[in-house]
Structure 1
Amino acid sequence: MLLWINGPFGGGKTQTAFELHRRLPGSVVCDPEEVGFGLHRVIPRELRPDFQELTAWRQGVVETLDLVLRKHDGPVIAPMTVVEPAYFAETVGRLREMGHDVRHFALMARPETVVRRLREREWAGLRPERWAVAQVDRCLDALAAPEFAEHIHTDEIAVREVADRIAAASGLTLTPNTDGPLRTQLRRARVAIRHIRF
């Protein structure tokens, strides 16, 4: 089974993915963004488009996830924002056509909630989020379309509850969450630090 976690930038996809991974034995996280970063590394900076515009990215994501889904004995988790319907069809849709059990979830929130979360990531000046903030309305508007369901509204619920809902909707059983508030904060900070893009 593939759990594709969609949502706007700053919507909580990565935190949710690693919460699921932590509590879902045998799972792996395969981040399609890494395929895009690899493509960007071989393209001169001044020629780099949004990597989702590259056919190579869309094909590469499908080939990579197809390989992992065929060879790995456990759930695969892919946190990735995809809001262009054609690109969604070429990735999520293509994997479904290939016979994979793909469960797609779009994490939704009010624009002000997403902007607040993005601003919180700018601590110490390590990650300016101006571009991501400018994309909030576009992403939320696109993801509201029926083809991007199932929608989970995250304004008032914690990451662990988002993970619980995804697991329940997918028929998966998570291990109990036994972490207290401090341990939860430390773990979330670790995930955030590992995913800082300089």
Structure 2
Amino acid sequence: MIVWLNGTHGAGKTTTSRLVQQLVPDSRVFDAEKVGETLMDITPVLSPTDNFQHWPPWRPLVVETARHVLDYTGGTLVMPMTVIVEEYWREISAGLARHGIPVHHFVLHADTETLRGRIEGDTDMGPAPSKFRLKYLEPYAEAARTWLHEEAEVVDTTHLTPEQAARRIARDVAAVRARESAP
């Protein structure tokens, strides 16, 4: 099983994923961004882009990496990864479905001003706010309005701590597992 934590930068995916992993038995965190970083290390560069998700190999490599990790480890992968291009989400989710891997898709959401404040206050990426992260606020809002929130369970993190969000997600995952294992 995959627990996919979607949402834009500043929603709390990375922090929440670590906490979900502690609450969901036999789970591991797999950050699909590492697949993108591997592609970014190819020289010469594959093609100029502002986001590795635009490279066609990224999406099937995420699917295949997740599949192989699950084949090796079993259990659950908790995957914190922003995917706000509907075509990309469809490609990834269809690929996982072809392998029979159930995906429980959550979108960690917060209002735009909260997200902006979190991004501007985050010093982990340097002293200045990340322009890369800020530029995705409007595309995320558009995806949320047009398709993304219909595709997932939305967890509004505007007024939740990461611990509260993680407990809610873990409860939902446990409920799904209980329904799936019932006779």
- Normalised-by-shorter TM-score class: 0.7 to 0.9
Distance across 2 between alignment mates of 1:123 and 1:100:
33
What corresponds to 1:188 in structure 2? none
Instruction: Tell me which of 150, 154, 162 is aligned to 1:151.
Output: 154
1:88-99 to structure 2, matched below 5 A, reads: 88-99=89-100
What corresponds to 1:164 in structure 2? 167
Distance across 1 between alignment mates of 2:133 and 2:125:
17
**RMSD of aligned Cα (Å):** 2.2
1:68/1:147 Cα in 2 relative to 1: closer, same or farther (>3 Å)? farther
1:36/1:160 Cα in 2 relative to 1: closer, same or farther (>3 Å)? same
Asked whether the equivalents of residues 106 and 143 of structure 1 are also in contact (C-alpha less than 8 Å), the reply is no
In the alignment of these two chains, the number of paired residues is 173
Gaps of 5+ in 2: 177-183
What corresponds to 2:180 in structure 1? none
What corresponds to 1:79 in structure 2? 80
Distance across 2 between alignment mates of 1:3 and 1:127:
32
Deviations, residues 36-75 of structure 1 (Å, cap 9, x unaligned): 0100111446943221111110110010011112221221
Amino acid in structure 2 at the alignment position of 1:17: S
Amino acid in structure 2 at the alignment position of 1:24: V
TM-score computed with the length of structure 1 as normaliser:
0.79
Amino acid in structure 2 at the alignment position of 1:150: E
After TM superposition, give the deviation of residue 79 of structure 1 in Å: 0.5
TM-score computed with the length of structure 2 as normaliser:
0.85
Amino acid in structure 1 at the alignment position of 2:2: L
Deviations, residues 75-128 of structure 1 (Å, cap 9, x unaligned): 111100001111001112321232111100011110000111111213693564
What corresponds to 2:179 in structure 1? none
Asked whether the equivalents of residues 121 and 129 of structure 2 are also in contact (C-alpha less than 8 Å), the reply is no
What corresponds to 1:57 in structure 2? 58
Gaps of 5+ in 1: 174-198
Q: Percent identity?
A: 32
What corresponds to 1:9 in structure 2? 9
Distance across 2 between alignment mates of 1:124 and 1:42:
23
Amino acid in structure 1 at the alignment position of 2:85: E
